[in-house]
Structure 1
């Protein structure tokens, strides 16, 4: 097939509201050594995209300024060192940027084959949340069969992916949500328990649910004053993992409580990590999780798909907070 010289993309030159997300023409990127050129069919929308649009989360060095952290589509070009057999294969990929476009480049190690059990829209909604939940809840927090964990934002892309993974690996998951409707949606998705944090104190509910023991791990995207409350939810030797700071980047915590109960506080950000690390995670996911995806046992929850020209509406929907699951752009 002939690859055009330019493509449609979302690449705002100034920060701002959703209205800055207009379609522009950009050169089609060329794959470097070890990279694949993907003709993008769909791209996932993630909260870091909103922060980037507002000027608060610049792309890491070397990443394209075009927005978008995950895509799915067909491999149409390869760089040096990549087997020709990859051309024509459907893949989904984790990116450091460049997803809101008709073509994107990804290191081969950050790509996973799209099985027949997934639609291309579902495949585009997998990488960012799957890599994030796996590295933080399963690797950093060591969540394992028989554990009970607490995950905030139960109807978000991260929350719904955490629910799906916990169901696969025999982990009870308590999630929080901001309304009775969202709590019901989380339960329908497969959460063991859902707490409406606007009607109930989640610390009290976690104690009741766990019979006073607390949870083995908390996955937190809230930060701020939630951190100290999360620690009250942890069992002795529990692990607290921070992945975002929506309510503030600083927290006051009871240090002696951390010492006395041997708690662990950790966290991570995925986007700045190098391709070597992301490739290791992809390899682990291909062995441990992807067989379940191939068998149809794990799918992302899709809230809604928008065409590329409606990217501003997609961001408005995410900012409104009414979505359940993933928002996706289609090309």
Structure 2
């Protein structure tokens, strides 16, 4: 029987700030409630929302851990009331609402996936980007095989997952990247085209690549003044899906163009969504994508692994923007 300690090491901060504010602390090990499991964390994924939370701009939901960390891998060590699967001892990865930067983390049983033979660093790098891309590209964006999409940040965790899923489901993915090296990496991952936004007008390049037809969907992580440019990349009846606002929260667009060309503008954030929504999304992913992962046909693009105590260095790397794929923290 696994003995769960009373306290654990976790990563927190005294006040919002740069990567240097992250420091280790000793906190109580949480106890799983109904429908929850306690996972002894092996690895935790590092995501842009973690950085924004550390900066003081993305507070956790009221019922979530105040600690950062939205995806984990490890072994189940305790089960809450009503949980049958996953069971104690099972190797899992999970989407969590917070608390991943710690030795133990609570996960909703419905948001856990059997990690099977996956390497645990790779398992921790999957849930957040998989949930985000599946929901925003294939559900909100209604993308179907044979269509072409534009994804900004092609070598990010989200961008690389969009490329990988696009390849699996017959979607042609055009990406933007900063620099020739990142463009080469995106092409190696499987992008159909990679546009260096530092030297090329991506609007004109998308027009050239698509023969003037435009793309069926744009996955936008920039917002701000990119929105009006993105709309110029869309074909008639195109869909524009925003999942981050790194370029600013305000955009000025021509609504007559939206009407005339029947464009759809939407977006979402994953963390505040209800447990019921995330459970339903997890069920769909289990049916559609997880068998492909279990069969070894999809693996995340991995960048670098840092020790949990080096979380500040991991955040610094993400903020530098030089990473290719996913950054993870080694916990256990």
Give the TM bin, normalised by the shorter chain. Answer: over 0.9
Shift of 1:115: 2.6
User: What is the CA–CA distance in structure 1 between the aligned matches of 2:169 and 2:300, rounded to whole Å?
Assistant: 16
- Pair 1:13 & 2:14 matched: yes
Q: What is aligned with 2:309?
A: 309
| TM-score normalized with structure 2 length | 0.98
Alignment of 1:59-74 (within 5 A): 59-74=60-75
Shift of 1:19: 1.1
User: What is the CA–CA distance in structure 1 between the aligned matches of 2:244 and 2:209, rounded to whole Å?
Assistant: 25
Q: What is aligned with 1:253?
A: 253
User: What is the CA–CA distance in structure 2 between the aligned matches of 1:293 and 1:200, rounded to whole Å?
Assistant: 35
On the 8 A contact 2:86/2:112 being kept in 1, the answer is no
Q: What is aligned with 1:42?
A: 43
Counterparts in 2 of 1:4 and 1:238: CA distance versus 1, 3 Å? same
* Corresponding residue pairs, total: 330
Shift of 1:12: 1.4
User: What is the CA–CA distance in structure 2 between the aligned matches of 1:105 and 1:124, rounded to whole Å?
Assistant: 14
Q: What is aligned with 1:208?
A: 208
User: What is the CA–CA distance in structure 2 between the aligned matches of 1:229 and 1:94, rounded to whole Å?
Assistant: 33
On the 8 A contact 2:306/2:328 being kept in 1, the answer is yes
Q: What is aligned with 2:31?
A: 30
SS at match of 1:200: coil
Alignment of 1:203-282 (within 5 A): 203-282=203-282
Shift of 1:84: 7.1
Structure 2 unpaired stretches of 5+ = none
Could you report, residue by residue, the CA deviation over 1:113-145 in whole angstroms, capped at 9, with x for unpaired residues?
Answer: 1031x2100000000000000000000011110
Shift of 1:16: 1.1
User: What is the CA–CA distance in structure 1 between the aligned matches of 2:168 and 2:261, rounded to whole Å?
Assistant: 29
On the 8 A contact 2:76/2:86 being kept in 1, the answer is no
- Pair 1:78 & 2:94 matched: no
SS at match of 1:135: helix
SS at match of 1:96: coil
Shift of 1:13: 2.7
Counterparts in 2 of 1:77 and 1:188: CA distance versus 1, 3 Å? same
User: What is the CA–CA distance in structure 1 between the aligned matches of 2:230 and 2:98, rounded to whole Å?
Assistant: 32
Shift of 1:85: 6.3
SS at match of 1:86: coil
Structure 1 unpaired stretches of 5+ = none
Alignment of 1:120-139 (within 5 A): 120-139=120-139
SS at match of 1:145: coil
Q: What is aligned with 1:52?
A: 53
